[in-house]
Amino acid sequence: MHPNRIKVLSIGMDKDLLREGSISFKRHQVYAQHVEVLHAVIFARKEYGRDIVQIAPNAWAHPTYSSNMFGLFYDAFRIGKSLLKEEGDWVISAQDPFESGIVAYLLARMTGAPFMIQEHGDFFSEPYWREESFMNRVRFKVGTWLLPRADHVRVVSKRIAKTMQTFGVRKENITIHPVYTDVKSFQSAEPDKEIQAQQGEKEILILSIGRFVPQKNLGMLVRSFIKVLERGVRAKLLLYGKGIEEYTLRELASHAPKGSIVFKEWTDNPASVMHAVDIYALPSNYEGWGRVCIETLASGVPLLMTDVGCAGEIVFDGVNGLVVPIDDEWVFTEGLYKLATDATLRGQLKKDGLTTVEQLPTFEANVALYIESLEKTRSNF
């Protein structure tokens, strides 16, 4: 079947689709050009409003406008059921194998339409995510039950594709669709002058941007940074973000020399911030893809990361970055010390990182993978 005749019903929690101009909004505008109709039902509480947002002439985002958790499920199912009354060749796509996946599965069973599950977060490869909460352990059980029942599974990395096969998803039923990263703004950005002005003489600036949550394992980064300082390195750590672990991180940071660890809530111009630093550190326990890693390479900044996301596909240890085992504080500390003290290594990683970015697939190739996943979902049904 030609993809232009496919109608897509997407169930998910991506509230950026309700915000005109967001990256997700723009991406779906392009997706809509390749299908007959695209409806996205978004799990959203009442504060997001009830207005349907038009993404393109043939694409809309529908907030559920729900009061509670039960309402999110019921309203998503109710809206999806109403939309599926329109005749056509539908594909139902769940943006995760958990809450969204349940609704998509029920709609697919009710209507006889094929359905696809997307796995963007690498929630199954390592135990870290499911050990974060009781609800994650429940979601893990739900996901492992749902995944083999999908007509197709779309993932963002080879790492996740291998994990899906261990849960009973056949290799031919998987499309690897990496997250597209528009690197132009990161390639051309000017350094943040305020940050540069605060940099001490011969001081190495280390940056990490992200939510302060257990997944990001920022406590390991702070402890490693303090150990690097204790070995005589002149450095400053910039942490951009906020989240439930902020108090814990600030308490850890109190053991470092005053002013050596700087907390900032966020930045509207991460490209300029990246261009002003010497090292980017990603200590995460899991990542689906890790778009920030590609943005780092595009900024010409040496990267230290754990073996998550696009490590092994885009970032290779000792080639265009340093990749270390997950949650191994000793090795992470050694990597941070090595980068901070070896200017030649930093220069080599910068050069090869910029070369890597130039060789990334085009946006058109990325869209083609989206179309391929829809076609395979129909053909596997």
What are the pLDDT digits (tens) for 1-32? 566 789 999 999 999 999 999 989 999 999 99
Per-residue pLDDT tens digits for 163-190: 999 999 999 999 999 999 999 999 999 9
Radius of gyration (C-alpha) of the chain in whole angstroms = 22
Say whether both 170 and 269 belong to one domain.
Answer: no
Provide the pLDDT for residue 5.
87
Q: Which two tokens stand for residue 321?
A: 């970055």
Judgement on whether residues 201 and 316 belong to the same structural domain of the protein? yes
Provide the residue range defining the domain that includes 171: 3-180+362-380
Write the DSSP symbol of residue 45. B
pLDDT at position 3: 63
Query: Does one domain contain both 108 and 17?
Result: yes
pTM score, two decimals? 0.93
CA distance 251 to 109: 51
pLDDT digits (tens, 9 = 90+) for 227-268: 999 999 999 999 999 999 999 999 999 999 999 999 999 888
Instruction: Give the chain's domain count.
Output: 2
250 shares its domain with 341 = yes
3-state SS assignment for residue 129: coil
Q: If you write DSSP's letter for every residue of 164-225 in order, what string do you get?
A: HHHTT--GGGEEE-PPP---HHHHHPPP-HHHHHHPPTTPEEEEEES--SGGG-HHHHHHHH
My answer on whether 113 and 254 are in the same domain is no
- Give the model confidence (pLDDT) of 47-105 as tens digits: 999 999 999 999 999 999 999 999 999 999 999 999 999 999 999 999 999 999 999 99
Report the CATH number that the domain containing residue 80 is assigned in CATH: 3.40.50.2000
Amino acid at 219: G
Based on the fold, state whether residues 248 and 311 are members of the same structural domain.
yes
Shared domain for 174 and 203, answered yes or no, is no
